[in-house]
Amino acid sequence: MDDLIQTIAVYALPVLFAITLHEASHAYAARYLGDSTAYLQGRMSLNPIKHIDPFGTIIIPILLYVATSGAFLFGYAKPVPVDFGNLRKPKRDMAWVALAGPAANFVMALLWMIFAIGLAFASVNEPFFMRMAQAGVLANLVMFAFNLFPIPPLDGGRVLTSLLPNRYAYKFSQIEPYGFFIVMGLVLLKVLYVWMVPVMTAAHSALKLIVSPLTIFLS
């Protein structure tokens, strides 16, 4: 129980930011590109309460953590409503709206990494903050890679739908009602890790490359 409480304390803020900014980014991108659905429903907000799904964001992750001793963790927020028909160029702009969420996670992972570098430079000896920074990087990389998996309704699925020719895009989009179950099955069979690990590794390498000048400057 102590381990669970410590893990929740370390991950609570990073996960809250990761979920909130991911969903809010979809809403901001959609409004910028012509659809105000999320804005009119109050979802274009940095208020976490607007995006948290009590079951998917809180109950499921805790139950899975306890049931698997931390080996498997999964959760989700309330998806931001987007009427793609309202976008200026629906098929093209669908991809930009979808990419806004993972892009926000990549930027947040970068900021957490910079925070960790700052802690080390300032010789902050409190391990809680360093663990939180590491959790921020990990949580956002997980969200970045997971949401880019090319199955709708995940963001990667919408990007792929946008890129496919119209005939194939329509057929591919028909799997969306079953997408969640397909993804969960792939997670449970550990097939999704074949996607997650290389994408997270590549993103982490890119982040280290971006912060390398700062690391050299402060060393």
List of residues 6+ apart from 47 with CB closer than 8 A: 20
Structure tokens at 171: 């057929």
Q: How many helices (H) and strands (E) would you count in the chain?
A: 9, 0
What is d(CA 137, CA 15) in angstroms, rounded to the nearest whole number? 10
Structure tokens at 163: 């890129």
Tell me which residue of 11, 78, 71 sits closest to 49, measured CA to CA: 78
The type of residue at 193 is: Y
- For residue 188, the number of C-alpha atoms closer than 13 Å in the C-beta half-sphere is 7
Which one is catalytic: 19, 22, 23, 155? Answer: 23
List of residues 6+ apart from 155 with CB closer than 8 A: 98, 99, 101, 102, 147, 148
Active site residue 176: no
Query: Is 46 strand, coil or helix?
Result: coil
Do 30 and 38 touch, CB atoms closer than 8 A? yes
- Residues annotated as catalytic are 23
